[in-house]
Every structure is written in structure tokens, then in C-alpha cells.
Amino acid sequence: MVLPTLYSLSQQSWSQDTGVHGPIVLATGLWLISRRLPEVPALVRPVRPLLVALGLLLAVPAYIFGRAYDFISIETAALLLALVTIAYAYVGPVVIRMMWFPILYFCFMIPVPGWLLDVVTQPLKLFVSEVVTHGLTLAGYPIARLGVTIYVASYQLLVEDACAGLNSLVSLSAIGLFYVYMLRGSNWRYSILLLALVVPIAIAANCVRVAALVLLTYHAGDAVAQGYLHNFAGMVTFTSALLFIFLIDKLLSPLRDSLARKA
């Protein structure tokens, strides 16, 4: 079950912008589990067979269905449920509770379904295009917007799904969750605050990305903006957003210390 699904993920989700974080999540998640393995033998407890049967009863048919009809999201979620159920059968509830974070973290390997992408991405694209248009209008640029299409001078730019910020939002959430757990895991209130800031940071970073591409188009032409600089802008945006999360964590250190004292 594991190898066929990993192969499917590598050919589908992991080769696209929406799932580029998948291999990182897999590698770091396995590393997190390996760190706690020495503690496992002392924590093994008896299990409830009914829970094992129920977990497999849900996971196996869902896996078969997802595999047969190429629903990679269902297939991956069912595989994760099956693996957690099997692990529970061998080591018991105490170990599973101890491994709660790696299990939650592995959920980021489940590809976002296409219908959900469509529902979430469209409002994000509208928001990003509106913010960019309004901001550049205030700066004096001849710019207008119709839906997700931006008109600047004689050029027409379409805000694509990648520019909406959902791709970087999922990846930043995964990496941000790992960062928070490793460095701030003991302070759960501060961890929730820092994770909540990932969403506006990702959206703001993509607004800057779209604005930069619009300005490149206006000043240097469409060929320059749609060339290698287009893909390079995406990489710079993601890296900048990630560094900004680290910067905010540093700036909020007094608040973190205050919450730690109250805990």
C-alpha cells in the first residue's frame, strides 16, 4: 500500500506547486518519529481490538476506492489512517498520543482536492488582484481590474492560481508548524498565535509578488515579466515569507516570554 501511493504522489501532487512540500513533510516526519523510538518499548499498552477493526474497516475500502478511481486525496488519507491503526494495534494508545504531532504533520501530505482548490483559490485571486490594483492606483500607475484580470498600460495580466497564495499557504503552514513544534512546542498559546500569522503572511507575500510582476510588465515589457523572472519571483516570495515568519517570531519574543510565565 505504501510504495504504490508514494509513487502516485511523486507523479502527481509532488510534481506540482500545490504539493512540493510533500517530500519534505515525509522526511522530517519520519525523523520526528525516529527521535522518539527509544521511548516506545516502555510505553506499549494493551489495545482495544474494536478500535483496530473499525479503523481498518474504514481505511481499507477507502484506500481501494481511491486507488481504483485515482482519487489521490482519498487514497493518501486512507493510507495514513491504516498506518496509524496498525501502529495502534502494535504499540497501544499511549505511544499514539505521544506521536500526535508527527501524525498531524503527515496530514500535510494529503493533496488538497481539486474542488476545494477551486472554491478557495477564486476568492483569493480576486482579493490579491483587488489589493494590487488599488495599491498601484494610489501610486499613480494606469491600472484597472476586471475580475482576476489586471490591465496596466497596454498590457493584460491574468492572476493565476499560483499567484493567489494557496500553494505557498499550504507549504508555509507545514514548515511553520514544524518550526513552531521544534522551537516553541511547549508554549501552546504562542504556537497557535504564530501559526495563525502564517495565513496573512502568505497572502501578503503573494500580493507583493503580483505587484512586482505588474511593475516589471509596465517598465520592462511582458517578455521580461513572463520569462525566468516569473518563476524566480515565486521562489523569492516563498523564501521571503518564511524568513518573515522567523522575524516575527524574533520580534514577538517578549510576548512569548510573558505567555510562558503565565503558563
Report, as residue numbers or ranges, the catalytic residues.
163, 209
Q: Which residues contact 85 (CB under 8 A, 6 or more apart)?
A: 51, 52, 55, 56, 59
Question: What is the distance between the alpha carbons of residues 113 and 73, in angstroms, rounded to a whole number?
Answer: 6
Helices 2-11 and 72-91: crossing angle in degrees, nearest 10, is: 150
